[in-house]
Amino acid sequence: MSSIEPIAAAAAGYDLYAVVGNPVAHSKSPFIHARFAEQMGERIEYRPLLAPVDGFEQTARSFIAVGGRGLNVTVPFKLEAHALAQRLSPRAAAAGAVNTLRFDADGIFGDNTDGVGLVRDIEVNLGVPLQGARILLLGAGGAARGAVLPLLERAPHGLTIVNRTAGKAEALVEQFGAAAREAGCALAGGGPDAVMPQPYDVIVNATAGSLDAALPECDARAFGAATLAYDMMYGAEPTVFMRHASAQGARVADGLGMLVEQAAESFFVWRGVRPDGTPVLAALRERLQSTRA
């Protein structure tokens, strides 16, 4: 569905939601939310919504005008969604970006569920506790920034943020210093030389390198047999980061579970009920694997 076309209201008795982006046809969100709605017995209609690159706000306001209740926001509009929101959750304010908008009597509420989705996938789906863990976060862009506060809220022993441009990682350390102290977490960051030459419990690749088959700079000694190496990216095949980590003996995971769990959190923000992501993740994984055949 495009903002150039008339935006039709939802069917009678159904609440209207959508994922907005450019491009958006590839989005798995309609599949995910249709299954969440079925699972929870919620009467919603969920659509893809293509917005012109320079027309996010107009598209969002047109969606509100026809009774839209909420939006998932994807590339390249997360900063514009942050600016559109009249109220922000603490995690959206910390991330500086919004991926979930809720429209209600109090106005436009903006949230960021990406970091929560990451944490839930690691702890619930993969069974790796983050409390007391030594975590290495690779990258200091928007994806990394959205993950820092939810990670700190799990009270890890230490969180090291590493970026090719050291100043960006150091800026995040400064931004989240108070939250780290409150969590009792040792927070550090810098360039690739900030990686300790010993295994971490969890390594999260929040760079976009896997899109270009590029490895982030990271001392190979950071990977061990007990390390979970997690790539926020996903695909039908393991990413280059996952293949590299596996060669170092680490356990690996991609970001498909994060996608499902952040969607479950968005569903909760909208509807007040939290779906079980496990069966939806399994169905989505099966669909993804079928593309390899």
Question: Rounded to two decimals, what is the model's pTM?
Answer: 0.94
180: tokens are: 């780290």
Give the C-alpha separation, 62 to 56, whole Å: 10
Indicate the DSSP class of residue 96.
T
* Domain 15-112 shares a fold with domain 115-256: yes
> Class for domain 15-112, per CATH?
alpha beta
pLDDT at 292: 65
For the segment 130-166, what is each residue's pLDDT rounded down to a tens digit? 999 999 999 999 999 999 999 999 999 999 999 999 9
Whose structure tokens read 């990271």? 218
Give the C-alpha separation, 189 to 181, whole Å: 15
Q: How many helices (H) and strands (E) does the chain have?
A: 11, 12
Q: Please tell me whether 127 is known to bind a ligand.
A: no
- In the chain, domain spans: 15-112, 115-256
- Of all residues in the chain, what percent are helix, strand and coil, respectively (each to 5)? 40, 20, 40
For the segment 17-52, what is each residue's pLDDT rounded down to a tens digit? 999 999 999 999 999 999 999 999 999 999 999 999
C-alpha dihedral (200, 205, 206, 207), degrees to nearest 10: 130
Q: Please tell me whether 62 is known to bind a ligand.
A: no
Could you give the 3-state DSSP secondary structure of residue 129?
coil
The whole-number mean pLDDT for each consecutive block of 10 residues of the chain, a chain of 293 residues, reads 57 93 95 98 96 97 96 96 97 96 97 98 98 98 95 98 97 97 98 97 95 92 98 94 98 98 98 97 92 64
pLDDT at 79: 95
User: Given 3.40.190.10, 3.40.50.720, 3.30.230.10, 3.30.70.120, which CATH number is that of 115-256?
Assistant: 3.40.50.720
Cβ atoms of 204 and 147 within 8 Å: the answer is yes
Q: Please tell me whether 141 is known to bind a ligand.
A: yes
Active site residues: 78
pLDDT at 293: 55
Give how far Cα 279 sits from Cα of 39, 98, 188, 262, Å.
10, 26, 37, 15
pLDDT at 7: 73
- Dihedral class, residue 81 (left if φ above 0, else alpha if ψ from -120 to 50, else beta): alpha
pLDDT at 5: 52
